[in-house]
Amino acid sequence: MTLKEQIRQQALELGFDACAFTSARPPDHAREFENWLQDGRHGEMAWLPRTAEKRVDPDKVLASVKSIITLGVNYHTAAARDGAVARYARYFDYHDILALRLKTLADFVSRTVPGARSLWYIDTGPLLERDFAQRAGLGFIGKHASLISRRFGNWILLAEILTTLELEPDAPERNHCGSCRRCLDACPTGAITAPFQLDARLCISYLTIELKGSIPEALRPAIGGRIFGCDDCLAICPWNRFAQEARLMAVQRRADLDTPDLLELLALDEPAFKARFAGSPILRSKRRGLLRNVCVALGNIGDATALPALRRAASDPEPLIAEHARWAVGRIEARAAVVK
């Protein structure tokens, strides 16, 4: 087998569902990314401008880098439906699941040629990973600005290995969106402002995960019952008809997060929150962030039975939770007054 074939076989044996190769030349959409930052559409994600120079030049991430190995892991399950928690977060944290496997593969790559160096990331490194994944042929960037795989639809997690080895690039994937604009029409907040243009400041995933402070009141109603992320633009994509059942991720699924009880979550203190979400991506939101989101969801879809819990939350020592709880109480009371 060629070295590429050996690497791909090793990747599949480790549990990855796709493995493709591209050069480490600057990403194709570097200028668009820089303009996006200049427009402030990244919101409060300060690490993006801080690492922008590296993101548009892989050589600043790993000196003398020649190739990027892009990897995909399918996380689709037919049992999952749209819900309060984004589908990827209804598993144990994929960073933990993939880390050892990715390190093993990177070590294998480095050992193949004496002196070769490799560096791996699971969507945590300063890379425009979707650009490289498309250029490697792993999938194509859709109008919602996420990667779509013709094999797995929208349900694919990405990882990369940068290496000083020069590996023959695979053929890039071309866009297959055609005239479809379902993702634009499905976005509850209009965050996809034009095809391939995302304003993170309006995105529900940003608002419920990356934004650490108060959610703008004007955007709260559109969040509906969501408490961690949003799949609307992904779930509506017609390429999902080709989605396959997850292989590696199947045993990591947490079915308890398909339909979580919001009132139960609102009652969690700090130790209970950490115990409930140990090993879950939701842990990164911290108690203050998750309960902020729960309050907003209850304000949108809750009824009078939620008022006692929300009134208790309005006195929570954490000001962020208390403020959103008071807003939720007002929303439910206003709906009840209209009914009367």
Contact 327, 333 (CB under 8 A): no
* 3-class DSSP state of 300: helix
Distance of alpha carbon 69 from alpha carbon 10, whole angstroms: 12
Strand-strand pairing, 197-198 and 156-163: unpaired
Burial of 120-147, coded b for 16+ CB within 10 Å and e otherwise, reads bbbeebbbbbbbbbbbbbbbbbbbbbbb
Burial zone of 18 (CB within 10 Å; 0-12 exposed, 13-18 middle, 19+ buried)? buried
Q: Which of 123, 232, 303, 316 is catalytic?
A: 123
Residues in the chain: 340
Distance of alpha carbon 253 from alpha carbon 239, whole angstroms: 23
Distance of alpha carbon 247 from alpha carbon 258, whole angstroms: 19
123 part of the active site: yes
30 residue type, one letter? A
Work out the angle at residue 181's Cα, subtended by the Cα atoms of residues 158 and 205, and round it to the nearest 5 degrees.
45
Q: Name every residue whose Cβ is closer than 8 Å to that of residue 133 and which is 6 or more positions away in sequence.
A: 20, 70, 72, 139, 147, 158
User: Which residues on adjacent β-strands are paired with residue 74?
Assistant: 156
Distance of alpha carbon 292 from alpha carbon 320, whole angstroms: 6
User: Which residues on adjacent β-strands are paired with residue 141?
Assistant: 147
Distance of alpha carbon 162 from alpha carbon 173, whole angstroms: 20
Question: Which of 251, 278, 72 is CA-nearest to residue 157?
Answer: 72
Q: Among all residues, which ones are annotated catalytic?
A: 123
